[in-house]
Amino acid sequence: MSIMTVIKFEKYQGCGNDFILIDNRKNNVQLSKNQIFSLCERRFGIGADGFIEIIKTENNHFLMNYYNSDGNLSSLCGNGSRCAVSYAHKKQMILNNASFTSNGIKNKCRINGVDVEIEMNAISKINKNELGHYILDTGSPHYIIFDSIKDEELIEKARAVRYSDTFPDGINVNWAIEIGKNELFVRTYERGVEDETYSCGTGVTAAALAYAHEYKIKNDIIKIKTKGGNFLIQFGEEKEHFENVKLKGAATFVFEGEITI
Active site (catalytic) residues: 77, 200
| β-sheet bridge partners, residue 87 | none
- Angstrom CA distances, 25 to 59, 87, 180, 257, stand at 14, 14, 45, 18
Evaluate whether 181 touches 33 at the Cβ level (below 8 Å): no
Dihedral of CA 24/74/91/197: which sign?
Answer: negative
